[in-house]
């Protein structure tokens, strides 16, 4: 059992939120270490000298190593603590789940994270309204793509004689759900709705009813403001 872990996190970071969900789904205890991105805590030498990209999250293990990048952290947790798996047992299922997760982590999130939005405003001098339009465009297009992909996966499951998924894939939340819920949370902060995304809306409702997701929510974080 992993013990003595410290999660360096910012309450509204989608990437850190993913890792919090994974930790809570697996029932793993950890100390929460706030890294306030708006104040620039991540650029301070105390943090940046230990984390190459000076981003959050970073998971500090009891034995000393410090892990970075949310997707790598989650897969590490899944490999070392397999009792509550976040990836399916079969290779095809794992490929589908990883693809959904990467649609969020690699396609949506990089265009809409805090440092990109700050660059738009501070360097390119776009207005707040234009920044919001940027966010809504890319997040909206990305979530619409996920909605379509969830529909295609549902058809595949039906053709294979499998039951309809309650979550992104299957009847338990996994890696893709860890990515989806934070992305939706931040998209809704920027005024996006799920009115035309019924599959995503249903998954979000199911996930947010679970204790692991409630404990991971930004409002539950000690640095929530």
Structure tokens at 89: 């047992």
Distance CA 11, CA 167 (A): 24
Which of 155, 53, 138 has its CA nearest to residue 104?
Answer: 138
Residue tagged 């529909």 (tokens): 151
The rounded radius of gyration (Å) of the Cα atoms in the chain is 17
Beta bridge partners of 67: 59
User: Which domains, from first to last, does the chain contain?
Assistant: 9-85 (3.40.30.10), 91-216 (1.20.1050.10)
pTM, two decimal places: 0.96
> Can you tell me whether residue 106 is helix, strand or coil?
helix
| Residue pair 51/66 in contact by the 8 Å Cβ criterion | yes
pLDDT, mean of each 10-residue run, the chain (225 residues): 83 97 97 92 90 94 90 97 96 98 97 93 96 97 98 97 96 98 97 98 98 98 87
**Can you give the pLDDT at residue 165?**
97
Give the angle subtended at the CA of 32 by the CAs of 38 and 106, to the nearest 5°: 60
């Amino acid at each position: 059992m992993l013990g003595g872990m410290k999660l360096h996190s910012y309450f509204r970071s989608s990437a850190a939120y993913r890792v919090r969900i994974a930790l809570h789904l697996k029932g793993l205890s950890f100390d929460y270490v706030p890294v306030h991105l708006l104040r620039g805590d991540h650029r301070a030498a105390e943090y940046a000298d230990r984390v190459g990209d000076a981003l959050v999250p970073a998971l500090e293990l009891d034995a000393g190593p410090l892990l970075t990048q949310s997707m790598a952290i989650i897969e590490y947790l899944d490999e070392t603590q397999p009792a509550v798996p976040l990836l399916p047992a079969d290779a095809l299922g794992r490929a589908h789940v990883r693809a959904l997760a990467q649609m969020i982590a690699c396609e949506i999130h990089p265009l809409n994270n805090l440092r990109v939005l700050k660059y738009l405003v501070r360097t390119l001098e776009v207005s707040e309204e234009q920044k919001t339009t940027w966010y809504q465009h890319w997040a909206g297009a990305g979530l619409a793509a996920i909605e379509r992909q969830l529909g295609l996966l549902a058809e595949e499951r039906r053709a294979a004689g499998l039951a309809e998924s309650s979550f992104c894939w299957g009847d338990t939340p996994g890696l893709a759900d860890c990515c989806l819920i934070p992305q939706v949370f931040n998209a809704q902060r920027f005024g996006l709705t799920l009115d035309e995304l019924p599959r995503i809306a249903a998954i979000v409702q199911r996930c947010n009813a679970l204790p692991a997701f409630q404990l991971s929510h930004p409002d539950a974080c000690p640095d929530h403001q």
